Amino acid sequence: MAELDKSSLSGAEQAAILMMSLGETAAAEIMKHMGPKEVQKVGEAMAGIGNVTRDQVNKVVADFAETLGTHTGLGTGNEDYLRNVLTSALGGDKAGQLIDRILIGRSSKGLEAMKWMDPRAIAEIVRLEHPQIIAIVLSFLDSDQAADVLTLLPENMRADVLMRIASLDGIQPNALQELDAILEKQFEGSSSSIKSSSVGGTKTAANILNFMDSAVEARIMEKVKEYDGEMGQTIEDLMFVFDNLVDLDDRSIQALLREISSDSLITALKGADDALKEKIFKNMSKRASEMLRDDLDAKGPVRLSDVESAQKEILAIARRMAEAGDISLGGAGDEFV
């Protein structure tokens, strides 16, 4: 591992170093409070970190200790204290989700447990349910997970389910609790209660489509527009595609570039329009932009599926950063912030 530059470390990498320094028992206790996405992200960072010196560990731990020392946390401002500590330790993108779990008690026995499940298992559980039930369940999942489940459903159901997601405008808490209880009987989960009845909507539908394979997405949207052209247009307007990154301000572009790998960027840009490419070049150093241009020229033909996969990976990072308040997507993307 190169000389530690804390500013270049992601929140997950800082968390990984901190947790590895705490030991297995303490790290396991911390992970019990994390969601599936958080565990996966920190776990990947832990697996990828090597040759960390004691001096490097000390720098990360010292920074964490310094943050602790600037807050009292004794009876006053406990929520702010916890928020600041977790953000420092885990990074803003994961801290917000974890704070929801701890402070709001957002996890529920049935629906929340699904977030830990493989999409195929979820699809198997819900495939015989009424499309309205499926829509509610998918609305509670993370968008990328919901996209995988929707893809695994029979093709003749997908558009119907997506339209029901887009049409959701609040559900009675009693109905949610009843659904939660039914799902709980099929698998174990964590305790607590459902906080909100606000699920679904056109933005949720758009977010799910953003994570789907382009060909599948196109077929679903075609069906949606056949049934309801106005709804289809609304969903399309809320979708944030790769070329929309051109609308980001320079600060946001620069922040995003620090979070993505060179290989993913090169592959993704093979399918981007010239305006976005120039936006990227403009926000890099002269040497870095020249190297990127050379790499793009040397890359040669790339399979469309690889380009789409790289673009979706970068979009997922952009949406996560926007939700954490680290960047502003701008334009239509403001709907995701």
Percent of the chain with pLDDT over 70: 69
> Hey, which CATH number is domain 242-336, 3.20.20.80, 3.30.70.100, 1.10.240.10, 1.10.220.30?
1.10.220.30
Tokens 């890099």 sit at which residue? Answer: 284
pTM of the model: 0.44
- Give, in order, the Cα–Cα distances in Å from 206 to each of 1, 12, 182, 309: 39, 27, 28, 18
* Model confidence at 188: pLDDT above 70: no
Question: What confidence tier does 210 reach under pLDDT thresholds 50, 70, 90?
Answer: confident
Strand, helix or coil for residue 250: helix
Contact 169, 201 (CB under 8 A): yes
Count Cα atoms within 13 angstroms, Cβ side, for 64.
21
Amino acid 150: pLDDT: 92
Q: Kindly write down the DSSP assignment for every residue of 91-131, as one continuous string.
A: -HHHHHHHHIIIII----TTTGGGGGS-HHHHHHHHTTS-H
112-238 and 242-336 have identical folds: yes
Q: Kindly write down the DSSP assignment for every residue of 30-99, as one continuous string.
A: HHTTS-HHHHHHHHHHHHH-----HHHHHHHHHHHHHHHHT---SSSSHHHHHHHHHHHHH-HHHHHHHH
> Is pLDDT larger for residue 271 or for residue 178?
271
Amino acid 44: pLDDT: 79
Residue 4 DSSP label: P
**Residue-range domain boundaries for the chain:** 6-104, 112-238, 242-336
Percent of the chain with pLDDT over 90: 10
Mean pLDDT, rounded, of the chain? 75
Contact 240, 333 (CB under 8 A): yes
pLDDT in tens, 281-307: 999 999 998 999 999 888 888 888 888
> Is pLDDT larger for residue 232 or for residue 32?
232
Count Cα atoms within 13 angstroms, Cβ side, for 31.
20
- Give, in order, the Cα–Cα distances in Å from 123 to each of 24, 175, 247, 301: 34, 21, 36, 36
| Torsions phi, psi for 330 (to 5 deg) | 75, 160
In this structure, CATH architecture of domain 112-238: Orthogonal Bundle (1.10)
Amino acid 187: pLDDT: 52
For residues 79-90, average pLDDT = 64
Query: How many Å apart are CA 151 and CA 158, to the nearest integer?
Result: 7
Amino acid 233: pLDDT: 84
pLDDT in tens, 34-69: 777 777 777 777 777 767 766 677 777 767 766 655
> Is pLDDT larger for residue 153 or for residue 198?
153
> Is pLDDT larger for residue 183 or for residue 90?
183
Amino acid 194: pLDDT: 39
* Model confidence at 101: pLDDT above 50: no
Collect all residues with Cβ–Cβ distance below 8 Å to 331 and sequence separation of at least 6. 244, 247
Least confident span in 76-80, 104-108, 109-113, 309-313:
104-108
> Is pLDDT larger for residue 159 or for residue 197?
159
Amino acid 179: pLDDT: 73
